Chains A and B, each alone.
Chain A
Amino acid sequence: MFRTLSQRVWPSRTVLVREKHTLPDLPYDYNALEPVISAEIMQLHHQKHHQTYVTSLNQAEEKFLEAKEKNDLKTMIALTSQLRFNGGGHINHSILWQNFSPKGGEPEGDLLKAIEANFGSFDTLKNGLSSSAVSLQGSGWTWLGYNKSTNSLAVATCANQDPLEPTTGLVPLLGIDVWEHAYYLQYKNVRADYVKNVFKIINWKDVATRLATARQ
């Protein structure tokens, strides 16, 4: 309603009305993913790390719009790094919380068919995702993504909080966060154990829904 009013009162000037990003709720309690991921990690990861990305993203967008108003192109460009890092952090973690479920399960139906068509078997996919996640240097994410051009699945990695689709064009289906904050309090330096265990809590229905949507 606010947008329409501004267009009627000032028909010659479009005022950019920006909705602030907000931290999405988790679809389960902090302790729901134990013993795979501790409540302590879930709470810090959600309320501190993801919240900070949301807050910083809102700040970066506000500064960007102010710079745009002044036609300050240098500042707009300088802000893209903050936009990518915090925007990516918000996008990635919003997907992650939905990718998890205490009940876990297995892929089925069209998703399973696609996995078998592209990787041979579910086990081969798991091995591919795992080795990619474990060998990632520094902070980043390993993804199972969907390539719309070739109608195929792919395993890809992104550094830091680079979001999959803007960076590679692949549609994100399932993400594995290997920033140390995702596992260190519980698994210390043994990232491999964390990655192995994470497969027990994947919400394959959510992954299947994302694939179905991407294929539309």
Chain B
Amino acid sequence: MFRTISQRLLPRCMSMRQKHTLPDLPYDFNALEPVISAEIMQLHHQKHHQTYVNMLNQTEEKFMEAKEKNDLKTMIALGPMLRFNGGGHLNHSIFWQNLSPNGGEPEGELLEAINKDYGSLENMKNIFSSATVAIQGSGWGWLGYNKTTKTLAITTCANQDPLEPTTGLVPLLGIDVWEHAYYLQYKNVRADYVKNLFKIINWKDVAVRLASAKQ
């Protein structure tokens, strides 16, 4: 209703931008213990993800101001901040849903797809783990869906580069291997963190993402 009034009163006004907000976790901070400590979950959610949200909002605001002034150089210069913080917000929003204290195992169409493209769940997990552990620096390992070839794919992205804008793959399951995701608990042993993470994957969420991507 507010938009309609503003559109009537100020026909050339700036578009009304909704601010991004930090999504709630679907479980308590300690729900994923002993795989991920409450301390890590709290810092990861309330500090890291919150910062991406704040910085994304600031960046979008600056972008719109630049657009109003037709300042193309600034709009372009803001690209990396948009990608980094926007990607951070997208990635972590998926991540919290990808995890669950009682995640179960893949079944139905998801399991069929995994078996078809990787032979078995074990094989998929091995490939996914090696690719993710081998990431140089900060980044994410992803199980994604290729809409063109209708197949699953395992790939990695650097820093907070979001999977779909970067590769075209639809994100199904992400593994965050920035050191802040595991260091307080696992120190330098990223391999142990990745191995344990498979105990708390919310396979129902992964299945829902696949079903949506196939529509």
Contacts and interface: CB of A to CB of B under 8 A. Distances in A.
Interface in B184-201: 184, 187-188
A200 interface: no
B29 interface: no
B178 to A, nearest CB: 7
Contacts of B47: 188-189
- Which of B47, B48, B136, B159 is the most central at the interface, judged by chain A CB atoms within 10 Å of its CB? B136
Contact of A139 (B80, B137, B187, B188): B137
Given A137-B80, A139-B137, A189-B43, A181 B159 contact: no
Given A44-B188, A138-B137, A179 B160 contact: no
B151 interface: no
Nearest to B46: A189
A44 B188 CA distance: 8
Interface string B154-188: 00001110000000000000000011100110011
A85 interface: yes
A188 B184 CA distance: 9
A85 B158 CA distance: 14
Interface in A18-50: 44, 48-49
A159 B137 contact: yes
Contacts of B48: 189
Contact of A160 (B137, B179, B187): B137
A189 B180 contact: yes
Given A137-B160, A188-B47, A81 B136 contact: yes
Contacts of A180: 138, 178-180, 183
A137 B159 contact: yes
A48 B187 contact: yes
B51 interface: yes
B95 interface: no
A130 B21 CA distance: 29
A87 interface: no
Given A140-B137, A161-B136, A184-B184, A189 B158 contact: no
Interface in A56-92: 81, 85
B138 A139 contact: yes
Nearest to B50: A189
B183 A49 contact: no
A185 B188 contact: no
A128 B188 CA distance: 30
B179 A179 contact: yes
Contacts of A48: 187-188
B84 interface: yes
A55 interface: no
Contact of B84 (A52, A137, A188): A137
Contacts of B136: 81, 85, 160-161
A184 B138 contact: no
Interface of B: 43, 47-48, 51, 80, 84, 136-139, 158-160, 178-180, 183-184, 187-188
15 contacts: A44-B188, A137-B84, A137-B159, A138-B137, A138-B138, A138-B139, A138-B159, A139-B137, A160-B137, A161-B136, A179-B137, A180-B178, A180-B183, A181-B179, A184-B180
